């Protein structure tokens, strides 16, 4: 193994949550901290890659030397990522993209009343699906957070989103989101039979290197 196995490669990543505006002062988001994505960006950088990170709002600094593009909504993340995809050799979608966003963003702060309020939500674009279908030469990697049937669901996702690799992790009470450790199963496309690699629970920064090593060996 060379010391910089990703020298000459460009890695594009999405990371963090997205923030979906309801009105000028309110939004919908999720508990993603961006830690896993930022750790992967940093590992890729250390392995010699040029790293481009498209990030939602997080409390993390960009790793040194990483080109970071900050975005808020899923639609912004989608547009920015697709505009950068032709520069990349490897695409890794770690972002916890909101699946829905308010169908209409109110121009003014919504005034409260004692009545119930309904928000109509519209389906957001799938960034990973669009990148892998529009840029078939990229080595595309997705994440699958599941509460049950981990490997089955991950494999189905891998096929539907046309991925070369998927990293599956159990989520639920006290697992993965906003934690410093993670335990994953990696599935790599290998002709007809996929390869499965189990990685025990470990620190996200150490796990990031394991994941990047599998990518470097297969991309
Ligand atoms: O379909 P699901 O959300 O479970 O898929 C998770 C994978 O797809 C992750 O890699 C995530 O970053 C990516 N994704 C995306 N755009 C979306 C939804 C998910 O890139 N709108």
Q: For residue 21, is pLDDT > 80?
A: yes
Helices 127-134 and 74-84 meet at what angle, rounded to 10?
20
Q: For residue 48, is pLDDT > 80?
A: yes
Average pLDDT (42-70) is: 97
pLDDT at 173: 67
Q: In whole angstroms, give the CA distance from residue 48 to residue 192.
A: 31
Angle at alpha carbon of residue 63, lines to 41 and 6, rounded to 5°: 40
pLDDT at 175: 65
Judge if the beta carbon of residue 91 lies within 6 A of ligand 1. no
Instruction: Taking the CA atoms of 122, 128, 132 and 134 in sequence, report the sign of the dihedral they define.
Output: positive
pLDDT at 114: 97
What separation in Å is there between the alpha carbon of 128 and the centre of ligand 1? Answer: 6
Average pLDDT (174-183) is: 73
30 is known as an active-site residue: yes
Q: In this structure, which residue's CA is closest to atom 21 in ligand 1?
A: 126
Please give the domain boundaries of the chain with CATH numbers for all domains.
10-99+122-218 (3.40.50.10300)
Is 192 annotated among the ligand-binding residues?
A: no
**Which of 93, 85, 95, 94 has its CA nearest to residue 10?**
85
What separation in Å is there between the alpha carbon of 24 and the centre of ligand 1? Answer: 26
Mean pLDDT (the chain, rounded): 94
What separation in Å is there between the alpha carbon of 1 and the centre of ligand 1? Answer: 31
């Amino acid at each position: 193994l060379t010391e910089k196995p990703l020298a000459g490669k460009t890695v594009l990543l999405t990371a963090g949550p997205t923030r979906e505006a309801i009105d000028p002062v309110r939004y919908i988001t999720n508990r993603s901290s961006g830690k896993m994505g930022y750790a992967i960006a940093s590992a890729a950088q250390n392995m010699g890659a040029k790293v481009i990170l498209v990030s939602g709002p997080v409390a993390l600094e960009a790793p040194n030397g990483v080109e970071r593009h900050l975005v808020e909504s899923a639609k912004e993340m989608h547009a920015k990522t697709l505009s950068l995809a032709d520069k990349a050799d490897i695409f890794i979608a770690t972002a916890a993209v909101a699946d829905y966003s308010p169908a209409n963003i109110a121009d003014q702060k919504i005034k409260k009343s004692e009545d119930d309020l309904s928000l109509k939500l519209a389906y957001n674009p799938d960034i990973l699906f669009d990148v892998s279908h529009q840029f078939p030469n990229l080595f595309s990697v997705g994440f699958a957070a599941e509460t049950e049937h981990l490997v089955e669901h991950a494999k189905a996702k891998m096929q539907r989103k046309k991925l070369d690799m998927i990293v599956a992790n159990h989520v639920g009470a006290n697992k993965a989101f906003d934690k410093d450790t993670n335990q994953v199963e990696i599935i790599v496309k290998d002709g007809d039979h996929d390869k499965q690699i189990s990685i025990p629970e470990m620190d996200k920064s150490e796990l990031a290197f394991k994941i990047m090593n599998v990518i470097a060996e297969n991309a």
